[in-house]
Amino acid sequence: MKNVLIIYYSQSGQLESIARNIAKPFLNSENINLTFHEIQLEKPFPFPWNKDSFFDAFPESFLQIPTALKPVPEEILNTKFDLVLFHYQVWYLSPSIPINSFLKSDDAKKILNNTPVVTISGSRNMWIMAQEKIKVLLKQANADLVGNAALVDRVGNLISVITIVEWMFSGVKKKYLGIFPLPGVSEKDIQESSQFGEIILDSLNNNNFANLQPKLVEAGAVKISSYLVTVDKTANKIFNKWSNIIYKNQKNRKQLLKVFNVYLFLAIWLISPIVYILHLITYPLKLKTIKKETQYYQGV
């Protein structure tokens, strides 16, 4: 009998749905003892968000400043797991505050120590740099990262901005104005994510994770957009400056967050289309770099 732990934090329920679909093959196996753990905060974030609370989460999200969590049950802390499936969201290009808080906790270090971990993200589209930050935190917890899957909203970048914002601020997953696509990871992709669970389970049963990531990539678990990689890296540099300025000037926090709000609007609707055009123009000149980056980010 193998012990498997599924960890997740979900506001809207989307990530929990992904976690439970990927878990289906494990639930159907007589050789697996499966445990779910939902990360819970002492002071939960709101859902749906309002504008003030959404932007107020920016500095601590990007700077990866933890907040207080409810303790992990003793039963989980006292169990040695053969595998952990770790599901996370991306907030402001970083692991969400609940996820970051968990990974920096003593409980996480005890659970993940010398344990194989598969990371699974559910995001709008930019997860690359957040995953790099997750890698650092897992290494600090002495975890063994053996696989990664990234589920994203497949619609265009600017369209997904509109639909995701509407979902976050209304709390209702619907077609905005009746014409926009549904926000978030598609139901089809969520349902089909059980195939990733089958691949992971097979590696666990064979006690061999060496070829897990190539198999997940072959199944479509990790798709890389070179344009979004560029935007993610560039935005991280900019967010680093903004988050530090705001966090270090608490007296002017509200005013600075309003300025950041305006900047973010301009960056999304004016700057990002220009970056996209420049990316298309320079694409042929960067083929070798793009190929190298794609291979790296599809790995673990």
Low-confidence ranges of the chain (pLDDT < 70): none
> What is the C-alpha separation between 145 and 201, in angstroms, rounded?
15
Question: Looking at residue 271, what is its pLDDT?
Answer: 81
Question: Looking at residue 255, what is its pLDDT?
Answer: 97
| pLDDT single digits (tens) 64-90 | 999 999 999 999 999 999 999 999 999
pTM of the predicted model, to two decimals? 0.94
Question: Looking at residue 24, what is its pLDDT?
Answer: 97
Question: Looking at residue 222, what is its pLDDT?
Answer: 97
Question: Looking at residue 66, what is its pLDDT?
Answer: 97
Q: Quick one: 2-224 is in which CATH superfamily?
A: Flavodoxin domain (3.40.50.360)
Question: Looking at residue 245, what is its pLDDT?
Answer: 97
Beta-carbon contacts of residue 78 (< 8 Å; ≥ 6 apart):
none
Question: Looking at residue 192, what is its pLDDT?
Answer: 96
Question: Looking at residue 26, what is its pLDDT?
Answer: 97
Instruction: List the chain domain ranges.
Output: 2-224
